[in-house]
A and B are shown apart, each in its own frame.
Chain A
Amino acid sequence: MLDTLAITGRLCIEKLAGFGRATFVLLHALLVWPQPGNSIPLIVKQLYSVGVKSLLIIVVSGLFIGMVLGLQGYTILVDFASEDAVGQMVALSLVRELAPVVTALLFAGRAGSALTAEIGLMKATEQLASLEMIGVDPLRRIVAPRLWAGFISMPLLSMIFAIVGIYGGAVVSIDWLGVYSGSFWSVMQSSVDFYDDVLNGVIKSLVFGFVITWIAVYQGLESVPTSEGISQATTRTVVYSSLMVLALDFVLTALMFGNI
């Protein structure tokens, strides 16, 4: 009994200490920001490897999910003779939910794991220590540009996902299933609200991008510098950030749409 208590206590303290260190990393990396001159090219480089390289998987998944939504929506709505509303269904489910969440899950798997592995390997090969000895703060040089790149690229990726998804839904419903294109688009246009739907979706993706990048960077920094340690850290990044995304999605949805 006492043992269990002691173990629980120690675990809680460890988790709290870890959270404290993660917060320190975040604040330190972000607050030292304006470091004009050399930080812009560093961020651009990370935007490429975090954002641009995730584009393909985002576009392909968005297309398929949009097409599936079109198909499913049509088969349900056609029973009520309201297949014109399929545009609304596709757009709302993408913009509000699927684009931010699925993009976040893909982003965690594609970019988050890569960030953790990269930083973990830099730690294991003493590149971080050697930056310190050269007189460069690794939190500034390595961590800050990656955090910013993650924050910036996640909302953009999520928007691209939604746009491609809507396109996929339109292709399926209009070209294959014969929904009248005028009503497809006009119903969508009149039902999707910029603030309630689009902006809320963007806010979600901002939050997800923030959390995933933070987790990924922190796990990389804290990883045990061996090949086993890095692989465990990479796994933790994907697991923790996926869980956080799903949990936060519920919280955010409740806050945003709960009182409607």
Chain B
Amino acid sequence: MSVSDNVIQISHLKFNRGERCIFKNINLSIPKGKITAIMGPSGTGKTTLLKMIGGQLTPDSGKVIVQGTDVHSLARAELFSLRKNMGMLFQSGALFSDMSVFENVAFPLQVNTDLSVELIRDVVLLKLQAVGLRGATSLMPSELSGGMARRVALARAIALDPQIVMYDEPFAGQDPIGMGVLVTLIKKLNQSLGHTSVIVSHDIQETLSIADYICILADGEVIAQGSASEIRESSSQKVQQFIHGYPDGPVPFHYPSVALMDELTG
């Protein structure tokens, strides 16, 4: 795979939060037009990684190159214009609670384009149609179910037709139907709009079923990457434990402690 095929290129990324090391050394490339999944146990820094790509957090060292530019070398204004090429679906949906569904989806268009009111309206209706919620335009976020809120947020994330769409745990907390809807939607949007999708998730089966390329993070490092079948056949015990959900293995079930017998007998 040549470098130009990669929309996002992360190299030697290091990041600490206070004393805690979140990323030791991350090297990762995300190919253009594909669905790439970033997986890993909770708290390994998947959301943090997405925020690095979006330039919301700055690494201690290392580089994040998006579409040929180093995100963290940009001035504020340049960064904001780079972000117009990125859509992000936050874990909680993050709809603006004082705006209706329509206004939420229209917002990125209003602040980032000079389109007329009629055109914005048409675009919003088309995006909402794509996620199946054209009938919900006048509802407020508080009136939506979790799955609907996430679909509205998805419509908002793709409002500007970004070249990269990042999904932070899109399936978390969804019922099986909502999950199925989202899985199909992400796949369909990726194919029809031709953008690059980055999915952060720990729902293994759903993610393996749609991702072209998978990368597993653990302990601040990439422990495995490859296609779904390569991951399934990986010989690494950590990977096997993670994708099969074994309770104990290289990642211990017990929080580090002294031996039980020692503690009981004092």
Contacts and interface: CB of A to CB of B under 8 A. Distances in A.
Interface stretch (B81-89, B123-131, B219-227): B81-89
Given A125-B97, A127-B97, A133 B86 contact: yes
Contacts of A132: 54, 56, 83
A125 B107 CA distance: 17
Contacts of A137: 80
Nearest to A132: B56
B112 A127 contact: no
Nearest to B95: A127
A133 B56 CA distance: 8
A135 B81 contact: yes
A8 to B, nearest CB: 20
B94 A135 contact: no
Interface in B75-133: 80-81, 83-84, 86-88, 90-97, 107-108, 111-112
Contacts of A135: 80-81, 83-84, 108, 111-112
B96 A136 contact: no
B51 interface: yes
Interface in A90-134: 121-122, 125-127, 129-134
B100 to A, nearest CB: 15
Contacts of B91: 126
Contacts of B51: 129
Given A135-B80, A135-B84, A125 B94 contact: yes
A163 B111 CA distance: 42
Contacts of B87: 133
Q: Which 6 A-B pairs have the closest CB atoms?
A: A126-B94, A130-B94, A126-B90, A135-B80, A133-B88, A134-B108
13 contacts: A121-B97, A125-B92, A126-B91, A129-B94, A130-B90, A130-B96, A133-B56, A134-B112, A135-B81, A135-B83, A135-B84, A135-B111, A137-B80
